[in-house]
Chain A
Amino acid sequence: MNYVGEGIKKIDGMGLIKGASSYTEDIALGHNYLTVKLLRSPHAFARIKNIDTTIASKIEGIECILTYKDVTDKRFTLAGQSFPEPSPHDRRILGEFVRYVGDEVAIVAGKDEESVLKAMKLIKVDYEILEPILDFEKAIDHKTIIHTEKPYTSFNYGNEHMRNIAAQDLLVEGDVEEELANSDVVIEHSYHTQSQIHGMMENYIAVTYMDFQDRMNIISSTQIPFHVRRHVSKILDIPRSKIKVIKPRVGGGFGGKQTAPMEIYPALITKVTGKPAKLAYNRKETHTCTTTRHEMKLTVRLGATKDGIINAVDIHGLSNTGAYGEHAWTVFSVVGQKTLPMYRAKARRFYGEVVYTNMTTAGAFRGYGATQGTFALESAVNELAKKLDMDPSLIREKNLVKQGEINPTLNSFVGEKSIELASSTLDECITRGKEMIGWDKKYPMQKISPTKARGIGMAVTMQGSGIHGIDTASATLKLNDDGFYTLLVGVSDMGQGCDTVVAQMAAEILGVPVSKIIVNSTDTDVNPYDPGAYASSGTYVTGNAVIKAANLMVEKIVEGASKILNVPEEDIEFNGESLLLKDGKEISLDEIAYKLVSYKGQNQIMTTGTWGGYTSPPPFIAGFAEVEVDLETGKVEMVDYVAVVDCGTVINPNLARIQVEGGVAQGIGLALFEDIKYDAKGKMISDTFMQYKIPSRCDVGDIRVEFKPSFEPTGPFGAKSIGEVVINTSAPAIADAVANATGVRIRTLPITPEKVLMGIVNAEF
């Protein structure tokens, strides 16, 4: 291997650090964009009795004000998912009802910010205020019904809108109750994971304009350009052929930009006025009016023998989707899909409901339900270990699913046939992680001083690689006239480095340095279809497509050369740089490339590979946390975090390592401080980085990463995904470390000093 497995620099890195114009805001210059802003509801739940824009429209510079009376009443979802989307169609562009503080009431467009802000103040809205639901545990069968109209659902995933249920799920194998009854020990606890803000540094932004062919151009910071095209086409009634979505560099996404919360508004303004339009969310809107991680309460029951063999895993979940059902069912079902296959057990079940509330809508977020599920399951396994007085790593050794085993919940759709776990080094990850953190010396805790204790804790988890049976990506390679290649992909690099990784794979097969491959992943007109960057699919799904395209390219080059040179194909050897003929002659690729496209060859070679998987092979991670707790204040400080990862073949160790470090840090945020707060009336108050604390570089301690590669037979060069799995272990490992240091088990995230201290105080009481 020459390029795969090398820590090659990110192909866009130098440009980005040097500040090249590359993000939506930078490249959206030159048009005289109308400024678009959205008037938003101050109430958590209300009906608009009357809305009057007459005075506002008279403000100088105002071009267009739209209310629900002016727009289609078509309903849709903004989730970025393959069609037909498994999310309820419960949104309107603007509606008579507003369902959370921040819900859109009117779209205002004008020549500058000043005029728009002025107009927004002069729109008179008369609300009938309704009683909101702000506690998701009270949502089911509440007297308030948030969606009285039946949403369209593409199939039956349990939407019972009259009971405030957006979706339900059930994944079951064996007889859980019986296995629990036959167990020596049964533990049962409820765990609460809070909603979380993506906090990507670049806020949401989109600009729109009609081009010279009268086509709607949308430049947007998105993870899902092809889904955006479909949304806008369906919602605004514009043929898909008349829409072009451009995705420049994206300043972070983490799943947030897998929902398209704002593109439709400027697009509508452009459609109505014919003029270019720009909508840029500020930090408050990015926090409040897009999506968050789903808040969940997960009740876990584990049954085991007294030697620690797990007989049954049972998880009941309740998830809060907020005002709309974006990704409601899919995130929820992933809770079960990524927890139940972890442990060998005779019976396992995941079931429960996703409910509507009058809070900010939840959506996709790195980890996508596996994060929530892992916190609950891994905390429960650690609690089981305590109860059995057993080392938690030992309990995992006894029960974790191993490479080569058939697992009935691995492919995770009920009724599908069981599949074999083709690659896993999770056992080695655990062994290595224990060594690195000094487990045997430090477990469970060390008293540092009369007021300080250090504890360590662990957790393991899995994710998938793409969505099996659904995600399908294409890649196209073009041999240019000068002997370099263009690689066209539709996957969205938002910083994770997938453009570089796919270039490495192509380079490997084509036998050229990465610099000879230009990656274009910009625009729906040019790039082949790809669902986008989500479900950890970039390396795995798109990577496989790239390999197909590249192999085909090698074939076609030899075929083309054979025709031009009049030499049989068998007599040509292609080494990437040149073609070696049997008679000893050597012709450079540059020369052949030029001849191929010219009059002589009349053969511009472009090859396309399309790939979709029938399984979603899981990457694994073993996470170990060491924390220091101040016993007088309850403050938890990260000392060390060790992550050992099996992501199959590591395509780019440098980029993979950063993915792990970044994911672990985001998980530390979830574990220790990130928390969205609402006031009593349902207004989000943690709507800036002042109130919503994400980890700074002083909060994460040391994060140390190693890989234990496996070889995934279906993966590109044996690779699996890495982007999401890395966020999942931080919270349960930290919770266990805190419990080991203090004896206080926190089951409600985040683990704040108050909770720890109250635990200590109450235990002493």
Chain B
Amino acid sequence: MEIKLKINGINKEVTIKEGEYLQSALKKLGFLNVRKGCETGSCGLCTVLLDGKPTLSCSTLAVRGIGKDITTLEGESVEVAKFAEVLTGEGADQCGYCSPGFTLTVIAMKRELESPTIDEIKHYLTGNLCRCTGYMGQLRAVKKYMEVK
């Protein structure tokens, strides 16, 4: 079936199978950095923004994206670059495989939460797993990026 998706402000058409997930549809369209780590909605690697809200594309049907604003890393290049500067500055990037999903979640959080506490930050990001960094450096970077003390 052919569906229309609006991705990063641009309308695209993609042929999907019944029951196909958004992650796979986005991959087909060449959005390679929408990664997949678990296939069970537990890791957050596949996060994209649906109308600005972090959404697990591995467990969201592609048809759910119809009529929504879908944002991938490419659609947030300015904020992504800003955050990447801080994250690399902390040395808090390792293999980088979790980065796209994590970064998008952080960007959404910055817009959503006003002067959050550390616990609120951790809570917001808890679905984004990272096996490399141990999370401390990411937290330092997020605090800088959010300008939280």
Contacts and interface: CB of A to CB of B under 8 A. Distances in A.
B16 interface: no
Interface residues of B, number: 51
The 9 A-B residue pairs whose C-beta atoms are closest, nearest first, are A654-B91, A16-B96, A495-B95, A251-B97, A19-B33, A661-B134, A665-B134, A495-B94, A13-B88
A202 B125 CA distance: 19
13 contacts: A16-B99, A18-B77, A19-B100, A201-B95, A249-B95, A652-B91, A658-B91, A658-B94, A661-B136, A662-B131, A694-B129, A696-B129, A697-B139
B25 to A, nearest CB: 15
Interface string B62-85: 000000000011100100110111
Interface string B16-55: 0000000000000000110101111011010000000000
A1 interface: no
A199 B129 CA distance: 10
B109 interface: no
B84 A17 contact: yes
B131 A663 contact: no
A201 B93 contact: no
B93 to A, nearest CB: 4
Given A661-B136, A696-B126, A700-B134, A689 B38 contact: yes
A698 B39 contact: no
A23 B39 contact: no
Nearest to A657: B91
Contacts of A702: 136
Nearest to A652: B91
A653 B137 CA distance: 12
B57 interface: no
B103 to A, nearest CB: 6
Contact of B99 (A17, A26, A494, A496): A17
Given A282-B39, A688-B42, A689-B40, A13 B93 contact: yes
Interface string A677-696: 00000000000111000111
B7 interface: no
Contacts of B126: 696-698
B88 A17 contact: yes
Contacts of B83: 17
B84 A18 contact: yes
A593 interface: no
B1 to A, nearest CB: 16
Contact of B135 (A10, A22, A661, A688): A661
Given A688-B39, A690-B40, 5 more contacts: A201-B131, A657-B91, A658-B90, A658-B94, A696-B126
Contacts of B94: 252, 495-497, 658, 662
B135 A690 contact: no
A2 B77 CA distance: 32
A13 B87 contact: yes
Contacts of B88: 9-10, 13-14, 17
A201 B134 contact: no
Nearest to B131: A199
Nearest to A197: B131
A662 B131 CA distance: 7
A483 interface: no
B33 to A, nearest CB: 3
B24 to A, nearest CB: 10
Interface in B114-149: 122-123, 125-139
A211 to B, nearest CB: 23
A391 interface: no
Nearest to B103: A17
Nearest to A254: B131
B98 interface: yes
A21 B95 contact: no
Contacts of B139: 697
Contacts of A22: 96
Contacts of A282: 39
B23 to A, nearest CB: 13
Interface residues of A, number: 58
A660 B95 CA distance: 15
Contacts of A19: 32-33, 72-74, 80, 99-100
Contacts of A9: 88-89, 91
A21 B72 CA distance: 14
Nearest to A726: B134
A283 interface: yes
A9 B130 CA distance: 19
B133 A658 contact: yes
B5 interface: no
Contacts of B97: 23, 200-202, 251-252, 495
A746 B33 CA distance: 43
A80 B130 CA distance: 25
B56 interface: no
Interface string A646-675: 000000111101101111111000000000
Nearest to A202: B97
A22 B99 CA distance: 13
A404 to B, nearest CB: 33
A414 to B, nearest CB: 36
Contacts of A13: 84, 87-88, 93, 96
A12 interface: yes
Contacts of A660: 134
A689 B42 contact: yes
Given A495-B94, A654-B90, A697-B139, A663 B42 contact: no
Which of B83, B89, B134 is most buried by chain A, counting CB atoms within 10 A of its CB?
B134
A14 B96 CA distance: 9
A703 B139 CA distance: 11
Interface string A135-148: 00000000000000
A250 B39 contact: no
A728 to B, nearest CB: 15
Nearest to B127: A696
A697 B35 CA distance: 20
B50 to A, nearest CB: 18
Which of A13, A19, A664 is most buried by chain B, counting CB atoms within 10 A of its CB?
A19
Contact of A21 (B32, B90, B123, B135): B32
A200 B95 contact: yes
A25 interface: yes
B130 A201 contact: yes
A18 B80 contact: yes
Contact of A26 (B32, B92, B95, B135): B32
Given A19-B100, A283-B40, A661-B135, A494 B84 contact: no
